Copies of this chain bind each other. A is one copy, B any other.
């Protein structure tokens, strides 16, 4: 499981003041998001609200989209911690089928809740790059499939297919510009994930 710990982890050698600035900027950005939504959050506005120089914000994030990418990355790490060491059935300790269902449900909820941030992280220009979707999902799904008795399955390929099945509906939702999350969307995707995974994995 170390692959995505390394991938997602913050640089170890970050200096203490840089780390403090980073945490302060992310916390400030979260406050501004909660108050105003993503559309009015700018580099200048963030610097002013945080009481830091524009140069500091620029060096940290590069672009406005970089702020949102950093927020996503921060939340991804928290999500990953729940999967690696949180309570079952999302965390370790539950049977693999239950963990697969819980993972898909939690991941869907996470992605839908982060739809606005994910869209802003893409800066409105760049389509979602195909092939870069959720390595964390693929590694985790592959591991849990390996704990089930799926004789005859090509587990690597099946994990790729199920990861795509998990991400697909969300990517469609994300690509539909202007769509806002309705309470039912995440639930509907999650229910269908559970149906799919139960049928694939039943003995």
Residues of chain A at the chain B interface (Cβ within 8 Å): 126-132, 152-154, 157-158, 160-169, 171-172, 174-176, 188-189, 191-193, 195-196, 199-200, 202
Ordered by A's residue number, 26 sampled pairs between the chains whose C-beta atoms are within 8 Å are A126-B127, A127-B127, A127-B130, A129-B175, A130-B130, A130-B171, A130-B174, A130-B175, A132-B175, A153-B192, A154-B195, A157-B169, A157-B188, A157-B189, A157-B192, A158-B192, A158-B196, A160-B168, A160-B169, A164-B167, A164-B171, A165-B165, A167-B168, A199-B199, A199-B200, A199-B202
Cα distance, A161 to B169, chains bound together (Å): 6
By a CB distance below 8 angstroms, the chain B residues around A153 are: 192, 195
Number of copies: 2
Known A131-B174, A153-B195, A161-B196; further 18 A-B contacts with Cβ < 8 A:
A126-B127, A129-B175, A130-B171, A131-B171, A131-B172, A152-B195, A157-B189, A157-B191, A158-B192, A158-B195, A158-B196, A162-B165, A163-B168, A164-B165, A164-B169, A165-B168, A199-B199, A199-B200
